Amino acid sequence: MKRHPAINGIKVLLGITGGIGAYKSAELIRLFMKQGAEVSVVMTRNATQFITPLTVETLSRNPVGTDLFSLSEERSIDHISRARWADLMVIAPATANYLAKAAHGIADDLLTTISLAATCPVLIAPAMNSAMWDHVTVRSNLEILTSRGVAVVPPTEGELACGEEGVGRMADPEQIVAAAAAAIQLHDLDGVRVLVTAGPTREAVDPVRFLSNRSSGKMGYALAEAAATRGAEVILVSGPAALDPPSGVTLVSVESAREMLAAVRANLKACQWVIMAAAVADFRPSAVLESKLKKKGRQGLSLDLTANPDILKTIAADKGNRLYIGFAAETEDLLENARAKLEGKGLDLIVGNDVTERGSGFGSETNQAVIILRDGTVERLPLMTKRELADQILDQSMRCWQSGDVDG
Ligand code: PMT
pLDDT at 19: 93
pLDDT at 76: 60
Nearest CA to ligand 1 atom 8: 361
User: What does the pLDDT average to over 360-371?
Assistant: 96
The DSSP element (H or E) to which 75 belongs, if any, is helix 71-76
Question: DSSP code of 65?
Answer: B
**CA dihedral angle for residue 154, residue 160, residue 162, residue 163, rounded to 10 degrees:** 160
Atom of ligand 1 nearest to the CA of 199: 1
User: What does the pLDDT average to over 260-285?
Assistant: 97
pLDDT at 387 over 80: yes
Atom of ligand 1 nearest to the CA of 351: 13
Q: How many distinct helices (H) and strands (E) make up the chain?
A: 14, 21
Rg of the chain in Å (alpha carbons): 26
Q: What is the pLDDT of residues 66-124, one digit of tens each?
A: 887 776 666 666 778 888 899 999 999 999 999 999 999 999 999 999 999 998 999 99
Atom of ligand 1 nearest to the CA of 369: 11
Percent of residues, the chain, with pLDDT higher than 70: 97
Before 93, cis peptide (omega within 30)? yes
Identify residue 258 by its one-letter amino acid code.
R
Q: Please report the beta strands in 119-258, taking only residues with DSSP state E, as ranges in sequence order.
A: 122-126, 151-152, 156-159, 165-169, 193-198, 203-204, 210-211, 233-238, 250-253
Give residue 126 CA to ligand 1 midpoint distance, Å. Answer: 44
- Can you identify the CATH homologous superfamily of domain 5-184? Flavin prenyltransferase-like (3.40.50.1950)
pLDDT at 311: 98
pLDDT at 15: 98
Ligand 1 neighbour 353 (Cβ under 6 A):
yes
pLDDT at 167 over 90: no
Ligand 1 neighbour 85 (Cβ under 6 A):
no
Q: Which of 154-158, 252-256, 318-322 has the highest mean pLDDT?
A: 252-256
Atom of ligand 1 nearest to the CA of 355: 8
Domain chopping of the chain, boundaries: 5-184, 193-403
Give the integer Cα–Cα distance in Å for 232 and 224.
Answer: 9
pLDDT at 82: 85
Ligand 1 neighbour 311 (Cβ under 6 A):
yes
Ligand 1 neighbour 341 (Cβ under 6 A):
yes
195, 196, 215, best to mutate for ligand 1 pocket (most atoms within 8 Å of CB): 215
Cross-strand bridge partners of residue 350: 326, 372
Q: Please report the beta strands in 1-121, taking only residues with DSSP state E, as ranges in sequence order.
A: 11-16, 38-43, 88-94
User: What does the pLDDT average to over 378-399?
Assistant: 94
Ligand 1 neighbour 221 (Cβ under 6 A):
no
User: pLDDT class for 334, splitting at 50, 70, 90?
Assistant: very high
Give yes or no: 271 in active site.
no
Give residue 208 CA to ligand 1 midpoint distance, Å. Answer: 25
Atom of ligand 1 nearest to the CA of 198: 1
Ligand 1 neighbour 257 (Cβ under 6 A):
yes
pLDDT at 404 over 80: no
User: pLDDT class for 339, splitting at 50, 70, 90?
Assistant: very high
pLDDT at 163: 78
pLDDT at 407: 54
User: What does the pLDDT average to over 184-201?
Assistant: 92
pLDDT at 90: 98
Percent of residues, the chain, with pLDDT higher than 90: 81
Does residue 238 or residue 165 have the better pLDDT?
238
Q: Are 322 and 407 in contact (CB under 8 A)?
A: no
211, 273, 280, 323, best to mutate for ligand 1 pocket (most atoms within 8 Å of CB): 280
- Same fold flag, 5-184 and 193-403: yes
pLDDT at 261: 98
User: What does the pLDDT average to over 12-17?
Assistant: 98
Nearest CA to ligand 1 atom 18: 279
Tally of CB atoms within 10 A around 379: 14
pLDDT at 165: 81
The whole-angstrom distance between residue 407's C-alpha and the CA centroid of its chain comes to: 25
User: What does the pLDDT average to over 49-70?
Assistant: 91
pLDDT at 366: 96
Ligand 1 neighbour 219 (Cβ under 6 A):
yes
Top CATH class of 193-403 equals: alpha beta
User: What does the pLDDT average to over 140-163?
Assistant: 88
Q: Are 230 and 186 in contact (CB under 8 A)?
A: yes
Ligand 1 neighbour 312 (Cβ under 6 A):
yes
Give the integer Cα–Cα distance in Å for 240 and 203.
Answer: 11
User: What does the pLDDT average to over 157-186?
Assistant: 87
